[in-house]
């Protein structure tokens, strides 16, 4: 090993820090590489099977590929359009060709669905137009002379039998389209197609916030009867907050109670708290159904005791969701609170009491601040858990009790609207991230105090 | 110690709330259990008679029993594989983190723990698209990977916790006595952190065993798991067979918890802080 | 056999830094002889453990060479060095019995079961714990655990054993006992020991030689008596034993004596210090027991008068506190018999031989 030129700092000559840094780096590198190689498998696993799929999924929220894929000629032609009045005839012509291109039918359907997200009724318009065009072609005969885009027609013409027709008078593409549906003479449908050719679209993110791009091109709120997502976000937030609050109110006394029990009984009670935690959510939800449904045990009891003449609606509504969610979250509230309580030596409260503080004062001024980290951890844990709840509201809630997760799942599974699912997911993740951030701020602020 | 009347009132108020909360936690779990032994397919007390017919359906040789047993075996298989995968990856990563000189430690840790805070539906949606592209949809490998991923943060947490109580001098002692690093790990570190590794593995298993959302998104109809059958059972007409299956799961849970408690006691005994 | 008996372990220009701001070990040059008991003594944070860890292979020197038995051991991993080690908290494997703990290094060397057994019995016998082979460490007292750690570090017969404050966790009585026990063990088996402590008594009692560390630098390496009686630096004088410290300037130097003028003008004659020129600042160091009081002091070259400010009772002896040399005070160790006639306020004569007094940097 070569001797480094290191000079002692006490003799007044400064250290050769560069050489030292290099040497330190070299000495530690093998160790750091070993640490890294131990972490690498899980790091890579998480990156490949978690981070990347989620990020790739987020791309859907702005992806705008359907229209260029389904209507390639229109996408090209509509670039010429200035945006005021109807587009030039070439665009009509291109759309006609695109819609008559039978080989591209799946992509056309995709484009129709995408345009329908933007302007309601677009899907119907497209379907009608496609069938109208093919009917028109049958009547008019395939080789319509005025068509300057013979490609689409010839393809179309291949699978139909050209019939000689002299009665049909030649039509311009504009006449053909507006003849099939007058909506083609409205600017807003063409504007929607034009927005569909943008490289990225704000459509889904706007939709997820109950916003849309209006006919004048400015962002505006959707009509009141279409506003669902802000309510949904608020509901997700509200249900989560309610469950967290109830769990805190119920969990804190229980933690306090356990803390005051002798060790043996305390661990027995902890066992009882852990049993529901470890029991399958589906098993627990099943139990709640048996208990709360109209013909359920609780209603049996209520009727038997004449508390109410009719059976009460206890499930498939907000009440059922709150009860079942609190039941699931309570252990997660109790555990952190109890573990912090266990770590507080009794000497603090004894010291406070010996200094003459009244019991209530000791509790609120000394004990509660000491337990605070546990309360904060429990609240954070439960709140974040609640934000993502899916199974419980889906099984014990009514249609008006579903949260963001449910709508994400539905957008993908029922509507195949990946863009909206992605946008809603981004909003959900943002809420989670914001919550974590606020808590982090909050925690460092209270620590600094 | 003397107590004021006010304190006594406060204490008994706390006690009564606490007991009610405990009842709230436990009663719903056990109140349905006897109904699985009902001779009639009704969910009300008093029961007209005792019968094992619903369990009979679960264990019977007809198609229904076969389906349940198939789902059970699937769940066990996926759970064990996912647990092993998560435990190996999580333990190794915990060891790397505990060495204390990991570059980008904060970022890596945050990334590896992120499955804890990302809502499962978001993950399920993302992974269904991703797995479709790499042909993992409807495969056991796909389910195992996704389930293992959801379990790794728990392994990371439990093993890291047990490592924080591990005296690094023991490793040094082992090396100074002439044992190569691998032998030191196997004979000294591993036995001492074993309770942490075991509870991590158990957490990972239960995570998979309980998992429904990712399974609903990823699995093909023929890949039944116990949660999937329960989900179907709850969504359709609630039948006593579902209650019987729930009861069996509940009993298994109790068994696992007892194992955990034994592990915890053993951990305390080994670390010598009784 | 080592190439050179006196250079069994060598540190050559060793530096160690954990970060770019501080050198924890600075230019360490140190030889340890084969079979020697060498103690690294110094206050907490002075770099002793770091030095030991470099020798054991748990830290790498930032620069310089460490040579063991004639071979550079830089880059050789700890488990290949064959160096025994005793840790402050013993680091016994809690999940193994005493016997299994001792068997561990033997298994690592692939020794047969029968040989393991005899070795373990020998080692346990050596530390008088033969009856405890089947106990777990948690079932032993602190002293017993300490001895198991010792036996484990010795059972594979390493030629070098390192001990990092191994007695730090024991109470005083047990510590005193174990100091002698370890010393005797060392004398019996002749293994080379590098021992780390911050307890000067421990170092003086046990060691063949002591290396005094301060701020990562060796201040002096010498036998205990030499260190105590002839400290080379102010730090060593302060750190080892008790010491009166008087600041002054060199007035005159002869070949084996120098004269120092204290702040209030008092002149003191002291043993000379090489390289001193007149006018330089020096610190005089006198041990409390080297100062004589009464008639014994009257004829000494350094003889003074002063008023007793305080008499401190210390059980087996007393201390006189006498203001001297300006702002400073002298502490003088006295037997009860001699102190009987003296009371606070009395003027007494006191003094010391020049060779009992050193002018240090
Ligand atoms: N692993 C380490 N990383 C960074 N600094 C360290 C490390 N080990 C020791 N130090 C620092 O090096 C200095 C010397 O420590 P040490 O060798 O343990 O001293 P001693 O054993 O004499 O008390 C101390 O200031 C300590 O803070
Ligand atoms: Mg030290």
Residue A218, pLDDT above cutoff 60: yes
Residue A171 sits in which domain range? 69-197
Residues A158 and A246 in one domain: no
Domain-embedded: residue A1 = no
Among A21-30, A135-144, A284-293, A414-423, the minimum mean pLDDT is found in A135-144
- Band (pLDDT 50/70/90 cuts) for residue A156 is very low
Residues A30 and A172 in one domain: no
Whether residue B44 lies inside any domain: the answer is no
- Could you tell me if A169 and A263 lie in one domain? no
Q: What pLDDT sits at residue A6?
A: 47
Going residue by residue through chain C, which has 361 residues, state the pLDDT in tens, using 9 for 90 and above.
445 678 899 999 999 998 888 889 999 999 999 999 999 999 999 999 999 999 999 998 988 999 999 999 988 999 999 999 999 889 999 999 999 999 999 999 999 999 999 999 999 999 999 999 999 999 999 999 999 999 999 999 999 999 999 998 888 898 999 999 999 999 999 999 999 999 999 999 999 999 999 999 999 999 999 999 888 888 999 899 888 888 888 888 877 788 888 888 888 888 766 566 777 888 888 899 889 988 888 888 888 988 999 999 888 889 999 998 778 889 999 888 888 888 898 999 999 988 888 888 7
Whether B46 is covered by a domain: the verdict is no
Residue A153, pLDDT > 60, answer: no
pLDDT (0 to 100) of residue A315: 84
Q: What is the chain B residue with the closest CA to C140?
A: B272
More confident residue, A6 or B77: B77
For the cut 70, the answer to whether the pLDDT of residue A436 exceeds it is yes
Q: Does one domain contain both A361 and A401?
A: yes
Task: Judge whether residue A155 has pLDDT over 60.
Answer: no
The reply to whether A54 falls in a domain is: no
Output the pLDDT for position B29: 87
Question: Looking at the structure, do residues A381 and A243 belong to the same domain, yes or no?
Answer: yes
Average pLDDT over residues A397-421: 93
- Cβ C214 under 6 angstroms from ligand 1: no
At residue B220, φ and ψ (nearest 5 deg) are -80, 160
Ligand 1 atom closest to the Cα of residue C42 is: 22
- Chain C closest CA to B213's CA: distance in Å? 42
The whole domain housing B264 covers: 53-271
Radius of gyration of chain A (CA): 33
Q: Which range, of A337-351, B197-211, C209-223, C266-280, averages the lowest pLDDT?
A: C266-280
Most B CBs within 10 A among A26, A32, A50, A324, hence the mutation to make, goes to A50
- Whether C216 is in the pocket of ligand 1, judged by its Cβ within 6 Å, is no
Residues A299 and A429 in one domain: yes
Task: Give pLDDT tens digits for A159-185.
Answer: 444 444 445 556 788 888 998 999 999
**What would you report as the CA-atom Rg of chain C, rounded to the nearest whole angstrom?**
25
- Taking only the tens place, the pLDDT of each residue in B120-167 is 999 999 999 999 999 999 899 999 999 999 999 999 999 999 998 889
pLDDT at A44 over 80: yes
Query: What pLDDT score does B91 carry?
Result: 96
Confirm or reject contact between C57 and chain A (CB < 8 A): no
A163 Cβ contact partners less than 8 Å away, ≥ 6 residues apart: A138, A141
* B232 part of contact set with chain A, CB < 8 Å: no
Quick one: A120 and A238 in the same domain? no
CA B25 – CA B19 distance, rounded (Å): 10
**Facing residue for A276 by CB, picked from B25, B127, B149:** B25
Residue A222 falls inside a structural domain: no
Residue A323 has pLDDT above 90, yes or no: yes
| Phi/psi of residue A171, nearest 5 degrees | -115, 150
A6 contacts chain C (CB < 8 A): yes
Q: Does the CB atom of residue C82 touch ligand 1 within 6 A?
A: no
| Domain total of chain A | 3
Rounded Cα distance between A165 and A196, Å, is: 37
What pLDDT score does A14 carry? 46
Average pLDDT over residues A233-253: 96
Between positions 35 and 64 of B, the ones with CB within 8 A of A are 35, 43-45
CATH number, position B100: 1.10.3720.10
Alpha-carbon distances of C326 from C162, C219, C259, C352, rounded to whole Å: 46, 29, 17, 18
B178 interface with C at CB cutoff 8 Å: yes
Q: In this structure, are residues B173 and C91 in contact, taking their beta carbons and an 8 Å threshold?
A: yes
**Contact between residue C38 and residue C211 where contact means Cβ atoms under 8 Å apart:** yes
Ligand 1 atom with the smallest distance to the CA of C19 is 4
Q: Which two tokens stand for residue C125?
A: 């016998």
Indicate whether A412 belongs to any domain.
Answer: yes
Residue A243 pLDDT > 80: yes
The per-residue pLDDT for range A289-317, each reduced to its tens digit, is 888 887 788 888 888 888 888 888 888 88
Answer whether C17 touches A (CB < 8 Å). yes
- Three-class SS state of B219: coil
The CB of C58 under 6 Å from ligand 1? The reply is no
**What mean pLDDT comes out for the span A23-34?**
82
Sheet strand arrangement including C209-214: C83-86, C160-164, C192-197, C37-41, C209-214, C217-222
What residues contact C290, with CB distance under 8 A and at least 6 apart? C352, C353, C356, C357
Residue B28 falls inside a structural domain: no
Average pLDDT of chain B, as a whole number: 88
Question: Is B22 in contact with A275 (Cβ distance < 8 A)?
Answer: no
pLDDT for position B195: 85
The mean pLDDT value of chain C amounts to 90
In a domain, residue B190? The reply is yes
A169 domain residue, yes or no? yes
Q: Which residues of B touch C57 (CB under 8 A)?
A: 175-176
**Inter-chain CB pairs, B–C, below 8 Å:** 74
User: Is residue B8 assigned to a domain?
Assistant: no
**Residue A191 shares a structural domain with residue A239:** no
Take atom 26 of ligand 1 and give the residue whose Cα is closest.
C45
Position B67 pLDDT exceeds 60:
yes
Q: Which of C11, C47, C196 to mutate to test the pocket of ligand 1 (most atoms within 8 A of CB)?
A: C47
CB-based contact B169 C91, cutoff 8 Å:
yes
* pLDDT at residue A85, as a whole number: 83
Same domain membership, residue A386 and residue A291: yes
Among all bound ligands, the one having the nearest atom to the CA of C48 is: 1
In a domain, B15, yes or no: no
CB contact under 8 A, C62 and A21: no
pLDDT value of residue C242: 86
pLDDT at position A427 is: 96
Evaluate if residue A8 carries a pLDDT over 60. no
Give the per-residue pLDDT at B54: 86
The total of structural domains in chain B comes to 1
Residues A124 and A176 in one domain: yes
* Contact (CB<8Å) A23/C26: no
CB contact under 8 A, B235 and A395: yes
Q: Residue A23 and residue C74: Cβ atoms within 8 Å?
A: no
A32 and A76 part of one domain: no
Task: Tell me the whole-structure pTM to 2 decimals.
Answer: 0.84
Write down the ipTM of this complex: 0.91
Read off the pLDDT of residues C158-192 as tens digits, 9 standing for 90 and up: 999 999 999 988 888 989 999 999 999 999 999 99
Q: Decide if A122 is inside a domain.
A: yes
The pLDDT mean for chain A works out to 85
A38, B114: Cβ pair inside 8 Å?
no
């Amino acid at each position: 090993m070569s001797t480094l030129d290191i000079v002692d700092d006490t003799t007044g000559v400064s250290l050769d820090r560069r050489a030292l840094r290099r040497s330190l780096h070299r000495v530690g590198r093998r160790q750091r590489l070993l640490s890294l190689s131990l972490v690498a498998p899980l790091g890579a696993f998480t990156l490949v099977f978690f981070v990347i799929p989620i990020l790739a999924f987020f791309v859907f929220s702005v992806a705008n590929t359907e229209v260029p894929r389904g209507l390639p000629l229109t996408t090209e032609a509509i670039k010429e359009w200035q945006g005021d009045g109807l587009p030039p005839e070439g665009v009509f012509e291109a759309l006609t060709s695109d819609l008559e291109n039978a080989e591209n039918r799946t992509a056309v359907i995709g484009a129709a669905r995408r345009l329908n997200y933007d302007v309601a009724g677009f899907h119907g318009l497209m379907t009608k137009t496609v069938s109208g065009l093919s009917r028109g072609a049958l009547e008019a005969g395939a080789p319509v002379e005025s068509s300057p885009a013979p490609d689409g027609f010839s393809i179309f013409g291949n699978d139909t039998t050209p019939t000689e027709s002299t009665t049909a008078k030649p039509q311009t593409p504009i006449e053909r389209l507006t003849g099939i549906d007058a909506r083609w003479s409205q600017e807003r449908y063409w504007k929607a197609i034009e927005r569909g050719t943008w490289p990225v679209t704000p459509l889904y993110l706007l939709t997820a916030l109950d916003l849309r791009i209006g006919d004048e091109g400015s962002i505006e709120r959707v009509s009141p009867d279409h506003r669902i997502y802000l309510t949904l976000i608020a509901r997700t937030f509200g249900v989560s907050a309610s469950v967290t609050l109830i769990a805190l109110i119920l969990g804190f006394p229980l933690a306090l109670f356990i803390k005051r029990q002798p060790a043996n009984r305390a661990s027995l009670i902890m066992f009882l708290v852990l049993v529901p935690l470890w029991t399958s959510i589906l098993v627990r939800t099943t139990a709640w159904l048996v208990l709360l449904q109209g013909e359920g045990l609780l209603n049996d009891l209520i009727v038997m005791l004449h508390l109410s003449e009719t059976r009460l609606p206890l499930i498939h509504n907000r009440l059922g969701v709150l009860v079942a969610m609190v039941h699931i979250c309570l252990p997660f509230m109790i555990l952190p609170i109890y573990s912090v309580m266990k770590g507080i030596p009794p000497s603090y409260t004894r010291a406070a009491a010996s200094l003459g503080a009244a019991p209530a004062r000791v509790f609120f001024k000394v004990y509660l601040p000491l337990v605070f980290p546990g309360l904060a951890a429990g609240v954070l844990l439960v709140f974040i858990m609640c934000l993502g709840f899916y199974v419980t509201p889906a099984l014990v809630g009514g249609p008006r009790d579903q949260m963001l997760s449910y709508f994400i799942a539905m957008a993908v599974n029922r509507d195949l609207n990946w863009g909206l699912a992605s946008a809603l997911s981004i909003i959900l993740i943002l809420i989670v991230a914001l919550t974590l951030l606020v808590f982090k701020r909050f925690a460092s602020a209270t620590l600094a105090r | 110690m003397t107590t004021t009347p006010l304190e006594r009132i406060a204490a008994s108020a706390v006690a009564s709330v606490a007991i009610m909360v405990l009842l709230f936690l436990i009663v719903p779990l056990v109140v349905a259990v006897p109904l699985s032994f009902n001779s009639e397919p009704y969910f009300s007390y008093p029961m007209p008679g005792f019968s094992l017919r619903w369990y009979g359906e679960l264990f019977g040789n007809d198609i229904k029993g076969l389906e349940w047993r198939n789902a059970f075996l699937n769940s066990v298989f996926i759970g064990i594989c996912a647990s092993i995968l998560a435990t190996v990856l999580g333990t190794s990563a915990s060891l790397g983190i505990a060495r204390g000189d990991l570059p980008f430690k904060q970022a890596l840790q945050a990334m590896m723990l992120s499955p804890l805070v990302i809502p499962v539906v978001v993950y399920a949606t993302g992974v269904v698209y991703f797995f479709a592209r790499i042909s993992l949809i409807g495969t056991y490998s796909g389910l195992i990977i996704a389930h293992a991923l959801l379990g790794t943060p728990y392994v990371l947490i439990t093993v890291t916790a047990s490592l924080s109580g591990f005296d690094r001098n023991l490793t040094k002692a082992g090396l100074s006595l002439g044992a190569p690093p691998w032998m030191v790990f196997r004979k000294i570190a591993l036995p001492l952190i074993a309770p942490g590794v075991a509870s991590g593995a158990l957490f990972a298993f239960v995570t998979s065993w309980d998992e429904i959302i990712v399974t609903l998104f990823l699995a093909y109809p023929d890949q039944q798991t116990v949660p999937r059958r329960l989900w179907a059972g709850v969504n359709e007409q609630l039948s006593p067979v579902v209650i019987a299956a729930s009861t069996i799961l509940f009993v298994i849970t109790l068994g696992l918890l007892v194992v955990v408690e034994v592990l915890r006691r053993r951990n305390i005994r080994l670390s010598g802080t009784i | 056999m080592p190439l050179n008996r006196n250079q069994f372990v060598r540190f050559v220009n060793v530096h160690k830094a954990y970060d770019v701001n501080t050198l924890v070990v600075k230019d360490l040059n140190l030889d340890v002889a084969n079979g020697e008991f060498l103690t690294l003594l110094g206050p907490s944070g002075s770099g002793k453990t770091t030095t030991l860890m470099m020798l054991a292979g748990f830290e790498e020197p930032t620069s310089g060479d460490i040579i063991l038995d004639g071979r550079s051991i830089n880059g050789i991993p700890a488990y290949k060095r064959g160096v025994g080690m005793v840790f402050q908290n013993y680091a016994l494997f809690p999940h193994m019995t005493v016997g299994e703990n001792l068997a561990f290094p033997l298994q690592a060397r692939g020794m047969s079961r029968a040989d393991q057994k005899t070795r373990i019995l020998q080692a346990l016998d050596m530390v008088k714990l033969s009856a405890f082979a089947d106990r777990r460490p948690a079932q032993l007292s602190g002293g017993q655990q300490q001895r198991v750690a010792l036996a484990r570090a010795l059972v594979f017969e390493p030629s070098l054993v390192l001990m990092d404050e191994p007695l730090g966790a024991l109470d005083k009585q047990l510590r005193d006992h174990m100091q002698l026990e370890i010393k005797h063990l060392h004398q019996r088996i002749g293994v080379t020991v590098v021992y780390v402590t911050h307890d000067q008594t421990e170092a003086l009692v046990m060691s063949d030689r002591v290396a005094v560390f301060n701020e990562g630098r060796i201040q002096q390496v010498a036998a205990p008596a030499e260190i105590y009686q002839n400290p080379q630096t102010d730090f060593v004088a302060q750190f080892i034993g008790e010491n009166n410290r008087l600041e002054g300037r060199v007035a005159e130097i002869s070949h084996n004596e120098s004269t120092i003028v204290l702040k209030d003008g008092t002149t003191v004659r002291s043993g000379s210090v090489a390289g001193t020129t007149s006018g330089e600042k020096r610190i005089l160091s006198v041990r409390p027991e080297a100062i004589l009081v009464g008639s014994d002091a009257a004829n000494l070259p350094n003889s003074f008068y002063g008023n007793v400010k305080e008499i401190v009772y210390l059980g087996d002896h007393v201390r006189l506190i006498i203001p001297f040399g300006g702002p400073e005070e002298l502490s003088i160790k006295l037997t009860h018999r001699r102190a009987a006639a003296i009371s606070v306020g009395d003027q007494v004569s006191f003094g010391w031989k020049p060779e009992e007094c050193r002018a240090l940097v």
